[in-house]
Amino acid sequence: MRGLFVTGTDTGVGKTVLSAALVAAIAAEGESVSAYKPVVTGLGEEPAQEAWPQDHELLAQMAGMTPEQVAPLRYAPAVSPHLAATMAGERIDAAQLIEPALALAQGGTLIVEGVGGLLVPFNEQFTVRDLAVELALPLLIAARPGLGTINHTLLTLQAARAVGLEVRAVVLTPWPRRPSDLEQSNRETIARMGEIEIVDLALVAHTDRSNLAQAGANLPWQKWLTPGRGTHSRT
Ligand SMILES: Nc1ncnc2c1ncn2[C@@H]1O[C@H](COP(=O)(O)OP(=O)(O)O)[C@@H](O)[C@H]1O
Ligand SMILES: [Mg+2]
């Protein structure tokens, strides 16, 4: 399967921005690309003023898909997927998450946006990390540039590598135009201690396709999509 699995150190760290930029940039090169968001929650929340579109709506716009194709499982409460399902009297099972991804990947490159961080449960026996393992996609980790990010990012790297997931890069987002000493130091420290490539994603001002494609064009996605050392790629 050709694609990338975008996870993050937390919820609200820039996974959607990064995923949308990747989809837009890949599509802009004329490559066939799909987006997959296994579960969206919080659809019942009142959107904040000037808020970005919902994850599956933005990804759908970039991929030329419908929001329902991007995210087959959608829940209103802003809670973890396992709780949202329980509140709806359902249980999400692994096959329900894996099968749509396999179907979408038939059509070309697949960009998966995870839900929250790696150990977020779909049910108590199956986490976001388990889905990444099943799909055998290399990971990108979206992380904040500021205080607290070293711990969160190194924890996420460890959790990924502990199960054999290959992490292609940590993406610090939004990377400021004039990074502070702390932010510069965080960047260098994570690179050394985590033995990982760090890439910056600048602030994207608008959610339209051209802005996101431009942001994505600055990311080395072609290299990230090339099967590499240690990737147990599944066809
Ligand atoms: N590069 C960026 N450009 C613009 N906004 C960003 C960027 N990175 C993060 N953000 C902001 O951070 C917030 C969370 O981003 P989002 O991608 O929705 O996170 P996640 O998908 O991890 O929950 C959003 O309000 C978004 O506008
Ligand atoms: Mg998101």
Considering the domain boundaries, does residue 235 fall inside one?
no
Overall number of domains in the chain: 1
What spacing in Å lies between the alpha carbon of 83 and ligand 1's midpoint? 24
What spacing in Å lies between the alpha carbon of 16 and ligand 1's midpoint? 7
The two counts, helices (H) then strands (E), for the chain are 10, 10
Tell me: the pLDDT tens digits for 82-115?
999 999 999 999 999 999 999 999 989 999 999 9
Half-sphere exposure of 26 (CA within 13 A, CB side): 28
Number of residues that make up the chain: 235
- What is the Cα–Cα distance from 89 to 84, expressed in whole angstroms? 9
Considering the domain boundaries, does residue 155 fall inside one?
yes
Which of ligand 1's atoms lies nearest the C-alpha of 21? 1
Q: Is 40 in the pocket of ligand 1 (CB under 6 A)?
A: no
Considering the domain boundaries, does residue 218 fall inside one?
yes
Q: Is 68 left (phi over 0), alpha (psi -120 to 50) or beta?
A: alpha
- Which ligand approaches the C-alpha of residue 55 most closely? 2
Statement: residue 198 has pLDDT above 90: yes
- Lookup result for tokens 């150990």: 119
Residue numbers annotated as active site: 37
Q: Is 172 in the pocket of ligand 1 (CB under 6 A)?
A: no
Q: Is 16 in the pocket of ligand 1 (CB under 6 A)?
A: yes
Considering the domain boundaries, does residue 231 fall inside one?
no
Neighbours of ion ligand 2 (CB under 5 A): 15-16, 55
Q: Is 203 in the pocket of ligand 1 (CB under 6 A)?
A: yes
Q: Is 25 in the pocket of ligand 1 (CB under 6 A)?
A: no
Tell me: the pLDDT tens digits for 12-41?
999 999 999 999 999 999 999 999 999 999
> Measuring from atom 23 of ligand 1, which residue has the nearest CA?
12
Is 211 in contact with 52 (CB distance < 8 Å)?
no
Residue (of 77, 72, 37) closest to 58 by Cα position:
37
Considering the domain boundaries, does residue 233 fall inside one?
no
Tell me: the pLDDT tens digits for 154-190?
999 999 999 999 999 999 999 999 999 999 999 999 9
The residue segments making up the domain with residue 22 are 3-225
- What is the Cα–Cα distance from 143 to 173, expressed in whole angstroms? 6
Which residues are within 8 A (CB) of 96 and not within 5 positions of it... i.e. 6 or more apart?
A: 72, 73
Q: Say which CATH number the domain at 45 has.
A: 3.40.50.300
Statement: residue 193 has pLDDT above 50: yes
How much is the average pLDDT of 114-139? 98
Which of ligand 1's atoms lies nearest the C-alpha of 51? 25
pTM metric for this prediction: 0.96
How much is the average pLDDT of 56-80? 98
Is 5 in contact with 135 (CB distance < 8 Å)?
yes
Considering the domain boundaries, does residue 60 fall inside one?
yes
